[in-house]
Amino acid sequence: MSNVTKVVELKTKRFVIRKSLIGKNTIITFTNKKQENVSYNHDEVYNAHSEKFNSMNCFQKYKSYTNTNAVPAFCRNLQTIS
């Protein structure tokens, strides 16, 4: 029996980190203002910055963090963003 993990691909209109997607192995793709497609692994971004996301008021209240225009500056250095 193989131990293959299912990857879920999700297209959105903005950068998003959601509590409901944690652990789901989701690749998210969105188009920024420059009409460039940006893809990232939701779990890798969340795991790298979980303390920051969990301390945000929006994440506590709405269970998500979004950025309409671009990848947040604190996430841009991750290898998982392309």
pLDDT in tens, the chain (82 residues): 455 578 889 999 999 999 999 999 999 999 988 898 999 999 999 999 999 999 999 999 999 999 988 889 988 888 777 7
Q: Is 66 helix (H, G, I), strand (E, B) or coil?
A: strand
Q: Quick one: 79 exposed, middle or buried, by C-beta within 10 A (0-12, 13-18, 19+)?
A: exposed
DSSP 73: G
pTM of the model: 0.86
CB 8 within 8 A of CB 49: no
CB 65 within 8 A of CB 56: yes
Q: Which ranges in 1-80 belong to alpha helices (H)?
A: 42-48, 50-55, 57-62
